[in-house]
Amino acid sequence: MIRIIPAIDIIDGKCVRLTQGDYARSKVYNENPLDIAKQFEDCGVIFLHLVDLDGAKAKFPVNQRVLEDIAAHTSLKVEFGGGIKDRDALVSVFSAGACRAVCGSVACTEPDSFSAWLEEFGGERIVLGADLKDGMVAVNGWREKSSESVDDLFDRFSPAGLKAAVVTEISRDGMLSGPDVELYGGLMARYPNLQIVASGGVGSVSDVERLDRSGVPAVIVGKAIYEGRISLAEIRNMSGSTL
């Protein structure tokens, strides 16, 4: 059964959502992300996907205080991404309470460093973030397109101990138009030993069910929750059997 991982994206310490990764198309949903995290915890959720959008743009973690508050005041296992470009930032994120770090840009720009982190911290704690724009991996807050495909990254880092990857289809992110099930199915067929976490496009419980039927082990859900397309009651019902 698929695992539901709610997302909280942070700008200026507030819970927001972007549309197609565009910082100019952001919407504030809550002034206090901790309140949202506690609501997810009450629904039986175990994992939380926390993204520091300011950090992704600044190239270093900016909203680490939010991570500290959620880690200190909930039992949620938080995976944190955004601005982790060097080992010092990585260690600080773990020290602030993250159980897993999602790293994307550094895997493209400094692959040797990412491989070293996999060796030092393990594939259970270091997660590859592959954000796709026109089939290629985007970096630095989704604003730049690299020359790497997701297959390039999987082929490079699987031998180094990569175990999990969050794959986001940027064109669908925040659009509520449905996930690219074919994309995730193809990746799982080619890389059966990797945990592929789907992200982008989920707009309803039926979208989650489609991913589940395709065998995707986990999905990140954000805007669909905040816009009322998926209720907290539905999250609670799904969490009982998925987490």
Instruction: Give per-residue pLDDT as tens, 49-87.
Output: 999 999 999 999 999 999 999 999 999 999 999 999 999
| Catalytic site positions | 9, 131
The structure tokens 């508050």 sit at 69
The structure tokens 């296992």 sit at 77
Beta bridge partners of 137: 132
> What is residue 143's predicted lDDT score, i.e. its pLDDT?
79
State the CATH architecture for 3-242.
Alpha-Beta Barrel (3.20)
Contact 50, 78 (CB under 8 A): yes
Going residue by residue through the chain (243 aa), what tens digit of pLDDT does each one get? 899 999 999 999 999 999 988 899 999 999 999 999 999 999 999 999 999 999 999 999 999 999 999 999 999 999 999 999 999 999 999 999 999 999 999 999 999 999 999 999 999 999 999 999 988 999 887 778 899 999 999 999 999 999 999 999 999 988 999 999 999 999 999 999 999 999 999 999 999 999 999 999 999 999 999 999 999 999 988 865 443
Q: What is d(CA 212, CA 184) in angstroms, rounded to the nearest whole number?
A: 11
pTM here is 0.95
Domains of the chain, by residue range, sit at 3-242
